[in-house]
Amino acid sequence: MRPFQYTRPASVANALVSIAQPGSKYLGGGTNLVDLMRMGTESPAVLVDVHRLPLATIEEHAGGVRIGAMVRNSDAAEHPLVRERYPVVSQALLSGASAQLRNMATMGGNLMQRTRCEYFYDPTFQECNKRHPGSGCAAIPGYNRMHAILGASPQCIAVHPSDLCVALAAVEAVVQVRGPRGSRSIPFADFHRLPGATPAIDTNLRPGELITAIDLPPMPWPRRSHYLKIRDRHSYAFALVSVAAVLDLDSAGAIRNARLAMGGVAHKPWRVPAAEQLLVGSKPGDEVFRAAANELVRGARPHRYNGFKVELARRAVVRALSSAAALV
């Protein structure tokens, strides 16, 4: 690990001053950035430790719930406001990483995880457009079992690793940020980026901006929620495919509202509103669930080792929707 300076500002305003130093990065729980520094993939000159900033409350806000960016993942997962009003968020949090990591990781930091790819994490591989723009992509001709089937580009086929973010996409969370030019709100769908021609840039945050909170908007129909994670082992593994499904049924049992998002398949949580619209007005059942699943994976382009993900994603969507629909 290369030497670096460390600073721990006492306020958001001071953090914004500190981050203006060249080569500086924010440090939250450190569960991703410190790994990357040990590997030599990241080498910030200054670490601006924000994890003790007063941004660690969970409270009702504008009919929904506001979660401070420095709330620990484990605290958010167990908080009554999250468990009762947004069970799919709680379920996704509890399926991520390990209990020890959830106790360290912060909600804001979870959004800032770098996409997972063995070739990105190991700097001995020279070809990685995310580490060295223009160097190529070792994963495309290489071992790409965990990689993207949707939304990728010839520059990068990495996937976003977060479980939480899949659920936040489904509930249409809003990310609150503060930066040198003031505060702004970013709809969750616009927070992360597809790789396109600039895979080195994972999010639409502007230089120096700090996540201060995540807003969960009012959602009066959270009960029928299910987060399904398919992975190689039961814990401490990234998703091959995951699905966040939320259904709202009317008094006749027809679907009135639906939310669906997938993880493990793209550079950002994958949501296709047309797939949700397909469900509206129908009674829950395999046929309509399969139609929504087909819409969600439309245009999938697998690579040599991950063709299995396409059908796995379809089946996971049907299973997640069936589980949500069966809840009473």
Instruction: Give contact residues for ligand SF4 (rule: CB under 6 A).
Output: 117, 119-120, 128-130, 137-139, 156-158, 199
How many other β-carbons are positioned within 10 Å of the β-carbon of residue 307?
Answer: 14
Question: 249 forms bridges with which residues in the sheet?
Answer: 255
Residue 40 tokens, joined: 């030599």
Considering beta carbons, is residue 48 or 137 the nearer one to ligand SF4?
Answer: 137
Considering beta carbons, is residue 78 or 127 the nearer one to ligand SF4?
Answer: 127
Closest CB 139 distance from ligand SF4, rounded Å: 4
Closest CA relative to residue 313, chosen from 278, 272, 284: 272
Closest CB 111 distance from ligand SF4, rounded Å: 18
Which residues, in sequence order, are CB contacts of 14 under 8 Å at separation 6+? none
Considering beta carbons, is residue 88 or 265 the nearer one to ligand SF4?
Answer: 265
Closest CB 128 distance from ligand SF4, rounded Å: 3
Residue 2 tokens, joined: 């290369």
Closest CB 98 distance from ligand SF4, rounded Å: 24
In the block, which residue shows the tokens 């900033």?
53
Closest CA relative to residue 209, chosen from 323, 96, 111: 111
Closest CA relative to residue 88, chosen from 309, 320, 289, 328: 320
Residue 187 tokens, joined: 């709809």
Considering beta carbons, is residue 28 or 199 the nearer one to ligand SF4?
Answer: 199
Closest CB 158 distance from ligand SF4, rounded Å: 4
Residue 153 tokens, joined: 């580009």
Written as one letter, the residue type at 266 is: A
Considering beta carbons, is residue 118 or 172 the nearer one to ligand SF4?
Answer: 118
Considering beta carbons, is residue 127 or 172 the nearer one to ligand SF4?
Answer: 127
Closest CB 229 distance from ligand SF4, rounded Å: 22
Which residues, in sequence order, are CB contacts of 141 under 8 Å at separation 6+? none
DSSP state of 242: E
Alpha-carbon gap, residue 21 to 35, rounded angstroms = 22
Distance of CA 62 to CAs 68, 76, 219, 248, Å?
A: 15, 18, 11, 21
Closest CB 64 distance from ligand SF4, rounded Å: 34
Considering beta carbons, is residue 222 or 269 the nearer one to ligand SF4?
Answer: 269
